[in-house]
């Protein structure tokens, strides 16, 4: 099969091109999936460079040579054997996450796969697959209610844009914080955000206060690592949810705790994957609601550009590294599937 193989860690992953490599042989308890779409993200760059926690020489599980990629959608090619035959049938459309997704085939355990509901395209499922955390953070962790005002940092990113969509679906107003004017424009045009502010200097903090008549926002969903700034824009009794540290370059911020006390702020960290492992029933409820909202168009993914074939993965990684991307990239691997899929909708 063709795949994006990382023979050894490298500085510039955008130079990677597809090579021919043996297709994975699924274990008896694994599915074999023919990949139709994959979604490159920043973590893939870190994996290829050997800078991700998963590539740690002792504690990590990803070591060269390995096939790059994580989020994907595809079609069941082969089901697990014997007693393990599983719930999915050959030919069913699925999405999931597994190292090795930038390939024509991936072998994967059942618990890492989900069926794509009828009415939801494989492209959308692929774009949204890693983003259920956005809906969970807004609806379950921050308890966002209709009429609330929510500030989202890193709003143009994969998770940030999904957060904006989740906040809108819950009937709240969203203020999107982005890196430049072009992205602010794209957010207003394509994501229906109420306000899009460029995170430059100090002016945006004043603007948040103006927009909320001096009160501050009810909730901050922080994807970039800006709790200090968040304490300045949140209302008395407001909530800040820490989701990621995209802008911190590995250096964590120190927060003056008195700021939390003075405004009775609730500061919560949220780790979606671990939470799901500990509370599987809640995870299923979240996925059920999230997929229903996606299928009915109440949540919409923000898909950037056009990328076709594994040969475009390098370009996707370059665009990500240069911070050109807003929303999620989806690379289509098989156009015949796209038409088969349309026929199903």
Ligand X SMILES: NC(=O)c1ccc[n+]([C@@H]2O[C@H](COP(=O)([O-])OP(=O)(O)OC[C@H]3O[C@@H](n4cnc5c(N)ncnc54)[C@H](OP(=O)(O)O)[C@@H]3O)[C@@H](O)[C@H]2O)c1
Q: Is 289 exposed, middle or buried (0-12, 13-18, 19+ CB in 10 A)?
A: middle
Binders of ligand X among residues 40 to 59 (CB under 6 A) are: 41-42
Task: For residue 129, state whether it binds ligand X (rule: CB under 6 A).
Answer: no
* Residue 50 or 158 with smaller CB distance to ligand X: 158
* Residue 165 or 223 with smaller CB distance to ligand X: 223
* Residue 158 or 238 with smaller CB distance to ligand X: 158
Q: How far apart are CA 68 and CA 48, in angstroms?
A: 7
Give the binding range for ligand X (CB under 6 A) out of 22-30, 84-92, 267-275, 286-294: 267-275
* Of the candidate residues 323, 335, 342, 344, the single one contacting ligand X (CB under 6 A): 323
Residue whose structure tokens are 């240069």: 322
Q: How far apart are CA 163 and CA 151, in angstroms?
A: 10
Residue partners of 151: CB distance under 8 A and separation at least 6: 174, 175, 177, 208, 217, 219, 220, 221, 230, 233, 234
Nearest Cα residue to 160 out of 185, 191, 115: 191
Q: How far apart are CA 274 and CA 202, in angstroms?
A: 35
Q: How far is the CB of 20 from ligand X (least distance, A)?
A: 30
Q: How far is the CB of 150 from ligand X (least distance, A)?
A: 16
Q: How far is the CB of 215 from ligand X (least distance, A)?
A: 25
**Residue sitting closest to ligand X (CB):** 157
Task: For residue 278, state whether it binds ligand X (rule: CB under 6 A).
Answer: no
* Of the candidate residues 178, 191, 265, 293, the single one contacting ligand X (CB under 6 A): 178
Phi, psi dihedral angles at 277 (to 5 degrees)? -65, -35
Task: For residue 140, state whether it binds ligand X (rule: CB under 6 A).
Answer: no
Task: For residue 158, state whether it binds ligand X (rule: CB under 6 A).
Answer: yes
Task: For residue 314, state whether it binds ligand X (rule: CB under 6 A).
Answer: no
* Residue 133 or 233 with smaller CB distance to ligand X: 133
* Of the candidate residues 54, 92, 255, 270, the single one contacting ligand X (CB under 6 A): 270
Task: For residue 157, state whether it binds ligand X (rule: CB under 6 A).
Answer: yes
Task: For residue 216, state whether it binds ligand X (rule: CB under 6 A).
Answer: no
Give the binding range for ligand X (CB under 6 A) out of 18-26, 115-123, 142-150, 244-252: 244-252
Q: How far is the CB of 279 from ligand X (least distance, A)?
A: 14
Q: How far apart are CA 141 and CA 143, in angstroms?
A: 6
Nearest Cα residue to 178 out of 328, 329, 323: 323
Task: For residue 159, state whether it binds ligand X (rule: CB under 6 A).
Answer: yes
Q: Which residues pair with 6 in a beta bridge?
A: 66
* Of the candidate residues 183, 208, 216, 313, the single one contacting ligand X (CB under 6 A): 183
Task: For residue 244, state whether it binds ligand X (rule: CB under 6 A).
Answer: yes
Number of residues that bind ligand X (CB under 6 A): 24
Return residues touching ligand X (CB under 6 A). 41-42, 133, 154, 156-160, 178-179, 183, 223-224, 243-247, 270-273, 323
């Amino acid at each position: 099969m063709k795949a994006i193989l990382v023979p050894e860690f490298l500085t510039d992953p955008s130079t990677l091109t597809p090579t021919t490599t043996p297709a994975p042989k699924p274990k008896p308890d694994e599915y074999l999936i023919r990949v139709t779409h994959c979604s490159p993200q920043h973590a893939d760059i870190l994996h290829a460079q050997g800078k991700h926690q998963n590539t740690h020489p002792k504690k990590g599980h990803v070591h060269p040579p390995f096939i790059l990629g994580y989020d994907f959608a595809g079609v069941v090619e082969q089901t697990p054997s014997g007693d393990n035959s599983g719930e999915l049938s050959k030919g069913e459309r699925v999405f999931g996450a597994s190292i090795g997704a930038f390939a024509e085939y991936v072998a994967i355990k059942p618990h890492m796969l989900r069926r794509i509901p009828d009415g939801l395209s494989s492209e959308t499922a692929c774009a949204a697959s890693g983003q259920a955390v956005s809906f969970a953070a807004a609806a379950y962790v921050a308890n966002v209610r209709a009429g609330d005002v929510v500030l989202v940092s890193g709003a143009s990113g994969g998770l940030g844009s999904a957060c904006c969509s989740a906040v809108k679906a819950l009937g709240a107003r969203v203020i999107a914080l982005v890196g430049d004017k072009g992205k602010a424009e794209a957010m207003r045009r394509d994501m229906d955000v109420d306000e899009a502010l460029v995170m430059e200097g100090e002016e945006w903090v004043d603007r948040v206060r103006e927009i909320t008549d001096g009160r501050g926002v009810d909730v901050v969903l922080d994807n970039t690592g800006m709790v200090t700034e968040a304490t300045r824009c949140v209302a008395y009794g407001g909530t800040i949810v820490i989701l990621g540290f995209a802008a911190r370059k590995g250096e964590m911020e120190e927060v003056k705790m008195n700021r939390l006390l003075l405004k009775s702020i609730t500061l919560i960290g949220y780790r979606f994957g671990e939470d799901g492992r500990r509370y599987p029933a809640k995870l299923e409820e979240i996925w059920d609601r999230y997929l229903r909202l996606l299928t009915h168009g109440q949540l919409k993914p923000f898909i950037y550009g056009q990328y076709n074939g594994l040969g475009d993965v390098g370009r996707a990684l370059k665009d990500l590294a240069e911070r050109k991307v807003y929303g999620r990239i989806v690379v289509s691997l098989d156009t015949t599937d796209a038409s088969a899929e349309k026929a199903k909708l």
